[in-house]
Amino acid sequence: MHRPIGVILLAAGAGIAGLYQLYLMLVYLGIVNFPIGNQEVAFNETQWGAALWSLLIAAIWLWVAAGFWNLRAYAVQFGIFISLFTLIWGFFSLLFGNTHEAQTIPWLLAGAIFLYLSYPGVQQAFVENERSKLTPEQVAAYDQVARANAAAAAKPPPGMGKPADSSTPPPTDTTS
């Protein structure tokens, strides 16, 4: 299987995001400290909610990283979802007392992954890999559905009739 360099970078970025979430989990459990400038953030009591949340996000990021590495199509949609979620969650974390330093790495990784996945043509390698796993009967059925969708898209919606010809003037109201 040939992996484009962008897919390798996606897998590495998602893996780093997952590892960083595991690091944050250790910070919330009070096992390690988080350095900020000349000071360190340490929790005297375990923050179970934040630690479990970081563990869940880490598991999703690592699962998506494995999907990127194996060129699985599910990873594209979950990658878009988890990257947007990380960006939004980080914003709300800042509103409720988190630090910019703690959110910089997740924001940069999630933003880069989201932008790269949104770029036209990036998802093609994933589509081709999934299509290569189909049987000939499944490929034929998929092509038949694509042809039917293209034919349906060429017709006007029901009840809308033909599109108006721009060369003919619109009908005039003669009832008044």
Indicate the domain borders of the chain.
Answer: 5-128
Read off the pLDDT of residues 110-120 as tens digits, 9 standing for 90 and up: 999 999 999 88
* 97 φ/ψ sector (left φ>0, alpha ψ -120 to 50, else beta): left
- Check pLDDT > 60 for residue 23: yes
Q: What is the pTM of this model?
A: 0.75
- Give the 3-state secondary structure of residue 40: strand
Average pLDDT over residues 10-31: 92
Helix (H), strand (E), coil (C) string for 119-144 = CCCCCHHHHHHHHHCCCHHHHHHHHH
CB count within 10 Å of CB 74 equals: 13
pLDDT in tens, 128-164: 888 899 999 999 999 999 999 999 888 888 777 665 5
Helical ranges in the chain per DSSP H: 5-29, 48-69, 73-95, 100-118, 124-132, 136-154
The owner of tokens 């990873």 is: 75
Higher pLDDT, 1 or 45: 45
Q: What percent of the chain has pLDDT over 90?
A: 48
Average per-residue pLDDT for the chain: 86
